[in-house]
């Protein structure tokens, strides 16, 4: 049986189309993906992302555990800061990408992808030989993402805290819509200004908070947004999606996540394999590409060819960019074709669509 978030009834009432995503019954769209996408790019939209997983890591060696399982350098964190990172297997393949929040001394929250909650928890537990306690609180935490140029003006009506003082990838714990202990995090997956709001089910009334935000954003024509718009928005920014663009069969270096991989820190899982890959080079790269032909929409799994019809890679994500009015995608190609401006071809229904390699984000902010 599919899980449901505390906002499920509100999605039903709003006429959302619901689908199975990561074992949850989630809204893929309400009115239309285009309308929801444009609301986030131009005004404000709100997503229920309570299907995401939250683990709390505490204890005097909590940092040591996080350093060992992730590729970024968590020692750079201070209380009130968040960090994007990833976990790897011993062979360098990606377990998951995640966020690490430093809540206080020896207290951290890890935010993982919904479909990976059980796998990630088991992986971290298996590798926890430290004086650190790991707790899976995914079922107790509600998470809303309020995204768009009008997100601050919307949420500012519901709190006395100056939201404009929360810089990108930092967070504050405060009161919102009359409820205390809400984490207000300046993060998101859309490329727009916005916040992710974390609160415990027993500390805040999910429906009351949702309705308060919808009312506060009414002046800006706030839209509830589903997974469809979440995907088109993230793809315009070139943000990777686990299961598509990054998997256990891809490593961070070829996935353009080398900037996350800190080789100068002490031992972490996958370090040796990634050092080897860096030394010997790797044969392919994750790239972004544009297709001018509006009829040729790239989809995950489609073959990528060179002009001589030799297969040189495959598409991992693709869509029609609502903002640009062009077809965009991401995929792995042989390194020889990974340079910006390279001409490649995507096989779509037995026809070749010409594409130009372009470094994301496709939407320049």
Q: What is the DSSP string of 113-178?
A: -GGGHHHHHHHHHHT--SS-EEEE-TTTEEEEEEESTTHHHHHHTT-SS-GGGS-TTBEEEEEETT
Confidence check: pLDDT of 365 > 80: no
Residues 6+ apart with CB under 8 A from 327: 290, 291, 292, 293, 294, 296, 297, 298, 318, 319, 320, 321, 353
Residues 137-141: contacts with CB under 8 Å, at least 24 apart? 137/54, 137/55, 137/56, 138/52, 138/53, 138/54, 138/55, 140/200, 140/201, 140/202, 141/50, 141/54, 141/198, 141/199, 141/200, 141/201
Helix (H) or strand (E) holding 4: none
Banded pLDDT at 332 (limits 50, 70, 90): very high
Alpha-carbon gap, residue 365 to 363, rounded angstroms: 6
List beta partners, residue 24.
3, 21
Instruction: Please give the mean pLDDT across all residues of the chain.
Output: 97
Cα-to-chain-centroid distance, residue 122: 21
Q: What tokens does 90 get?
A: 């011993």
Work out the percent of the chain whose per-residue pLDDT is above 70: 100
Question: Which tens digit of pLDDT belongs to each residue from 38-90?
Answer: 999 999 999 999 999 999 999 999 999 999 999 999 999 999 999 999 999 99
Q: Which of 30, 40, 59 is nearest to 132 (CA)?
A: 59
- Confidence at residue 276, expressed as pLDDT on a 0 to 100 scale: 97
Contact 233, 190 (CB under 8 A): yes
Question: Which tens digit of pLDDT belongs to each residue from 285-305?
Answer: 999 999 999 999 999 999 999
- Confidence at residue 203, expressed as pLDDT on a 0 to 100 scale: 73
Alpha-carbon gap, residue 258 to 325, rounded angstroms: 31
Three-state secondary-structure class, residue 27: strand
Confidence check: pLDDT of 227 > 90: yes
Alpha-carbon gap, residue 35 to 120, rounded angstroms: 34
Residue that has been written with the tokens 């996935």 in this structure: 255
Indicate if the alpha-carbon torsion angle 58, 61, 67, 68 is positive or negative.
negative
Average pLDDT of span 245-255: 98
Average pLDDT of span 199-220: 93
Alpha-carbon gap, residue 221 to 39, rounded angstroms: 8
Alpha-carbon gap, residue 324 to 108, rounded angstroms: 39
Cα-to-chain-centroid distance, residue 67: 21
Three-state secondary-structure class, residue 179: strand
Confidence check: pLDDT of 333 > 90: yes
- Confidence at residue 236, expressed as pLDDT on a 0 to 100 scale: 98
- Beta strand 223-225 with 45-48 is parallel
Banded pLDDT at 361 (limits 50, 70, 90): very high
- Confidence at residue 364, expressed as pLDDT on a 0 to 100 scale: 85
- Confidence at residue 33, expressed as pLDDT on a 0 to 100 scale: 98
Confidence check: pLDDT of 357 > 90: yes
Banded pLDDT at 202 (limits 50, 70, 90): confident
- Confidence at residue 310, expressed as pLDDT on a 0 to 100 scale: 98
- Confidence at residue 234, expressed as pLDDT on a 0 to 100 scale: 98
- Confidence at residue 137, expressed as pLDDT on a 0 to 100 scale: 98
- Confidence at residue 292, expressed as pLDDT on a 0 to 100 scale: 92
Confidence check: pLDDT of 204 > 90: no
Structural domains in the chain, CATH included, are 8-51+140-236 (3.30.1360.120), 53-136 (3.30.70.1400), 283-365 (2.40.30.110)
Alpha-carbon gap, residue 60 to 227, rounded angstroms: 38
Work out the percent of the chain whose per-residue pLDDT is above 90: 97
Give, in order, the Cα–Cα distances in Å from 26 to each of 9, 30, 194, 259, 319. 11, 11, 21, 32, 20
């Amino acid at each position: 049986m599919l899980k449901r978030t505390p906002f499920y009834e509100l999605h039903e009432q709003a006429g959302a189309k619901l689908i199975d995503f990561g074992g949850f019954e989630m809204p893929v769209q309400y009115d239309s993906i285009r309308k929801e996408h444009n609301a986030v790019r131009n005004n404000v939209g709100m997503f229920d992302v309570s299907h995401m997983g939250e683990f709390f890591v505490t204890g005097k060696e909590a940092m040591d555990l996080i350093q060992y399982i992730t590729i970024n350098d968590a020692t750079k964190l201070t209380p009130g800061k968040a960090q994007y990172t990833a976990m790897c297997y011993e062979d360098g393949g990606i377990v998951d990408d995640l966020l690490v929040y430093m809540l206080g001394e020896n207290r951290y929250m890890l935010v993982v992808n919904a479909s990976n909650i059980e796998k990630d928890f088991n992986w971290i537990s298996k590798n926890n030989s430290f004086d650190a306690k790991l707790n899976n609180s995914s079922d107790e935490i509600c998470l809303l993402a309020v995204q768009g140029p009008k997100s601050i003006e919307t949420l500012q009506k519901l709190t006395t805290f100056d939201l404009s003082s929360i810089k990108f990838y930092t967070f504050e714990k405060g009161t919102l819509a009359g409820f205390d202990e809400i984490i207000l995090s300046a993060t998101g997956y859309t490329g727009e200004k916005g916040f992710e709001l974390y609160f415990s089910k027993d500390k805040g009334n999910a429906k009351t908070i949702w309705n308060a935000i919808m009312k506060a954003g009414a002046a800006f024509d706030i839209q509830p947004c589903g997974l469809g718009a979440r995907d088109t928005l993230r793809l315009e920014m070139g943000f990777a999606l686990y299961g598509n663009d990054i998997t256990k069969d891809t490593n961070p270096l070829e996935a353009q996540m080398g900037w996350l991989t800190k080789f100068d820190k002490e031992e972490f899982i996958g370090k040796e394999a990634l050092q080897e890959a860096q030394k010997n080079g790797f044969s392919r790269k994750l790239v972004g590409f544009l297709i001018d032909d509006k009829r040729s929409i790239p989809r995950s799994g489609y073959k990528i060819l060179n002009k001589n019809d030799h297969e040189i890679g495959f598409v991992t994500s693709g869509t029609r960019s609502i903002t640009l009015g062009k077809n965009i995608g991401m995929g792995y190609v042989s390194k020889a074709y990974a340079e910006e401006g390279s001409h490649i071809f995507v096989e779509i229904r037995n026809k070749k669509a010409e594409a130009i390699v372009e470094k994301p984000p496709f939407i320049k902010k």
